[in-house]
């Protein structure tokens, strides 16, 4: 074995031609480097690389370094851009979500307001419809009433406060006058209020009214049997003159329209006023 070692040692003797031929070890270690160690034309290996080889190696290393730097910078730039894009996307999504939520709230409020307004309009429409129906019904009643009034007026009646009044052109006793009213489906006028008293007074008649104390002297009753509660007697009336005056008349010509009644003899002939409720 030692011989083998020394044999190889012999191979490493400073023999330049053998060194180039020894490819077992040197060829493996410096095979690639050999490209940077070109042999001289005379077959002697250069002990130091020439300056052009170093330059190429440095240029390649610098280029590789710059490439790495650029690649790293690109990766960093892409990472920053990517993170920023993600953040922007999240911000946009959040803003969009907030906008949608706000829109949803506003839309809901507007919908509720419209629903409330619709309900109010529906209620108002129903009220107007009811009012229209009532007015239509009332119109029918008024038309019927006007028709009746027109018919009675054509027969000589006068209309006041939902009552009809007939003024006679003849003069008769109180009893005959009442019979005429009964024949017309009415009766001698019963004065129920100050307004009715004024209206009858303004008819400018001296006429019988439906009031007498024939049954009991001093107890005045209307023709429908109701007792007199409010009288519009003239001054010093009723006086039952000569104890014969038991029928009431309204006497036009007095100054005060609510002091115009007088008791007179029932057999006296006067005009008369009938009243009828239709
Ligand atoms: Ca009356
Ligand atoms: Ca009397
Ligand atoms: Ca009298």
Q: CB count, 10 Å around CB of 213?
A: 18
pTM summary value: 0.57
Q: Which ligand is nearest to the CA of 223?
A: 1
- The predicted-structure confidence for 205-244, as pLDDT tens digits, reads as follows 899 999 999 999 999 999 999 999 999 999 999 999 999 9
Q: What kind of architecture, by CATH, is found in domain 159-276?
A: Roll (3.10)
Distance (angstroms) between ligand 2 centre and the Cα of 273 equals 20
Distance (angstroms) between ligand 2 centre and the Cα of 263 equals 7
Q: How is the chain split into domains, by residue range?
A: 63-127, 159-276
Q: Which ligand is nearest to the CA of 217?
A: 2
192: left (phi over 0), alpha (psi -120 to 50) or beta: alpha
Distance (angstroms) between ligand 2 centre and the Cα of 32 equals 166
- The predicted-structure confidence for 59-116, as pLDDT tens digits, reads as follows 999 999 999 999 999 999 999 999 999 999 999 999 999 999 999 999 999 999 999 9
């Amino acid at each position: 074995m030692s011989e083998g070692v020394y044999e190889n040692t012999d191979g490493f003797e400073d023999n330049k031609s053998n060194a180039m031929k020894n490819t077992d070890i040197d060829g493996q270690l410096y095979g690639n480097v050999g490209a940077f160690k070109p042999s001289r034309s005379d077959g002697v290996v250069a002990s130091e690389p020439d300056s052009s080889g170093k330059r190429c190696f440095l240029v390649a290393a610098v280029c590789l370094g710059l490439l790495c730097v650029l690649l790293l910078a690109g990766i960093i730039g892409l990472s920053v851009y990517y993170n920023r894009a993600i953040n922007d996307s999240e911000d946009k999504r959040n803003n969009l979500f907030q906008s949608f939520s706000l829109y949803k709230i506003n839309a809901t409020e507007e919908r509720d307001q419209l629903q409330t307004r619709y309900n109010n309009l529906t209620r108002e429409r129903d009220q107007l419809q009811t009012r229209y129906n009532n007015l239509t019904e009332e119109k029918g009643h008024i038309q019927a009433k006007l028709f009746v009034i027109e018919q009675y007026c054509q027969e000589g009646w006068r209309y006041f406060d939902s009552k009809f009044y007939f003024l006679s052109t003849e003069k008769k006793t109180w009893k005959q006058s009442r019979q005429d009213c009964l024949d017309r489906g009415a009766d001698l006028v019963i004065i129920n209020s100050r307004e009715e008293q004024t209206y009858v007074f303004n008819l400018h008649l001296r006429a019988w009214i439906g009031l007498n104390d024939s049954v009991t002297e001093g107890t005045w009753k209307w023709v429908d049997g109701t007792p007199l509660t409010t009288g519009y007697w003239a001054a010093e009336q009723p006086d039952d003159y000569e104890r014969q005056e038991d029928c009431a008349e309204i006497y036009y010509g007095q100054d005060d329209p609510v002091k115009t009644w007088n008791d007179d003899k029932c057999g006296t002939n006067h005009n008369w006023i009938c009243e009828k409720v239709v």
